[in-house]
Amino acid sequence: MISFSRRHNAARRLIAACAVTVAIATTPASAADKVSVGVLNAAGDIGLFIARERGYFVAEGIDADLTPLDSAVKMMPLLGSGDLDVGGGATSASLYNAADRKIDVRVVASRARTAPGYLYQGFVVRKDLVDSGRYKSFADLKGLKFGFASPGSTPLSSLNEAVKKGGLTMKDVDLTYLNFPSQVLGLQNKAIDGTIMIEPYLNQVVATGAAALIAPTEDYYPAAEVSLLLYGDKFIKTRPDVARRFMRAFLRGARDFKDVIANGRWKTDGGADDVIRIFAKGVNMPEATIRAMTPQFADPDGAVNMASLATDLAYFKQAGDVTSQTITADMIVDLSFAKKAAAELGPYKARN
């Protein structure tokens, strides 16, 4: 027979064990690390949209807050102050000028670039100007008005390469500054004559007849880095582990995107349908518009084409947008997060 004392001790142990179980069950899970992310609602954001929609950020213990902004230039002071952790878009003069003032914002991965067959960025001119014969070649750019998201941005470097093909300089064209949706409207209502347009807006202006695609930028400026992932210095230095986990989630999204494109087009085996849905939801556009666009090249490891950054920086210096003559492209690049994340994820293998 079991004594009262032994029964009493066993009961106490059982009650204690139950109390621990209840405590564990009712203790709230540790809060996810919040990361503020600036997006442009353009093709370069697709890896972020996929990572959010498919739970890759959640799996890394991250609460990613995606906030639309007009341009990467507007992200620079927010990244520098720490009000924004992560940004995305083209490099800009402000990125180099910030680095020159020791306000560090780093390029940490590629998000989108052009490549043979991946012609998602194009040089467009209003269709009525082409139909009337006002525009026939790059030499006819003189006097035309071009719209860009912001001063000191890389699409201006792309325009610079185009005007050089026509024997002109940037002084021969007029510039105005509009965000991407406003550029679409500007072409439709003839407020601007042309622009360097990215998807999904490129397909939109061509399909509606507002503009004619003169040339993919790949034709005269190959392998251009069009959109990059940016980290603020405060994010890198104070939360490096969160920054590493964020990169893993982002690269998973980028790899999912790469899985559903081939030779610059969406695959037709059905695998692209969900990615198209996610992207359409992210940019608030019809799925048919996204399906008709030309996807960008996405590097599965986030590798950056440094030659493209050097070309853009040379233009910024020539235009007087960057005054430091000693700063170089590699001073603003830190690929350690992308390299570590790619190594942890393993070599990219396309899914069937």
- In whole angstroms, what is the distance from residue 73 CA to residue 184 CA? 20
- For residue 1, pLDDT over 90 is answered with no
Whether the domain at 33-115+225-345 and the domain at 121-219 fall into the same CATH topology: yes
Is the pLDDT confidence value at 23 over 80? no
Confidence category of residue 30, pLDDT binned at 50, 70, 90: low
**In the chain, where are the structural domains located?**
33-115+225-345, 121-219
What is the tens place of the pLDDT at every residue in 124-156?
A: 999 999 999 999 999 999 999 999 988 888 999
Q: Is the pLDDT of residue 14 over 90?
A: no
Q: 33-115+225-345 has which fold?
A: D-Maltodextrin-Binding Protein; domain 2 (3.40.190)
Dihedral-angle region of residue 199 (phi above 0 means left; psi in -120 to 50 means alpha; beta otherwise):
beta
In sequence order, which residues have a C-beta less than 8 Å from that of residue 264 and are 6 or more positions away? 115, 117, 118, 119, 120, 294, 295, 297
Model-level pTM?
Answer: 0.82
pLDDT of residue 343: 98
Phi, psi of 109 (to 5 degrees): -170, 160
DSSP string, 297-314: B--TT----HHHHHHHHH
CB–CB of 184/205 below 8 Å? yes
Q: Is the pLDDT at 12 greater than 90, yes or no? A: no
Identity of residue 57: F
pLDDT digits (tens, 9 = 90+) for 79-93: 989 999 999 988 889
- pLDDT of 352 higher than 70: no
Residue 18 clears pLDDT 80, i.e. is over it: no
Comparing C-alpha atoms, which of 212, 217, 243, 241 is closest to residue 229? 243
Report residue 74's pLDDT band, with 50, 70 and 90 as the boundaries.
confident
pLDDT per position as a tens digit, 197-245: 988 889 889 999 999 999 999 999 999 999 999 999 999 999 999 999 9
Read off the pLDDT of residues 248-299 as tens digits, 9 standing for 90 and up.
999 999 999 999 998 889 998 768 999 999 999 999 989 998 998 889 999 9
Q: Is 319 exposed, middle or buried (0-12, 13-18, 19+ CB in 10 A)?
A: middle
Predicted local confidence at residue 134, as pLDDT: 97
pLDDT of residue 7: 44
At residue 16, does pLDDT exceed 60?
A: no
94 or 9, greater pLDDT: 94
What does the alpha-carbon distance between residue 217 and residue 39 come to, in Å, rounded to a whole number? 23
Separation between Cα atoms, residue 12 and residue 18, nearest integer Å: 10
Q: Are strands 174-177 and 145-148 parallel, antiparallel or unpaired?
A: parallel
pLDDT (tens digit per residue) in 98-126: 888 887 899 999 999 999 888 889 999 99
Q: What CATH number was assigned to the domain covering residues 121-219?
A: 3.40.190.10
Question: What's the mean pLDDT when you consider all of the chain?
Answer: 89
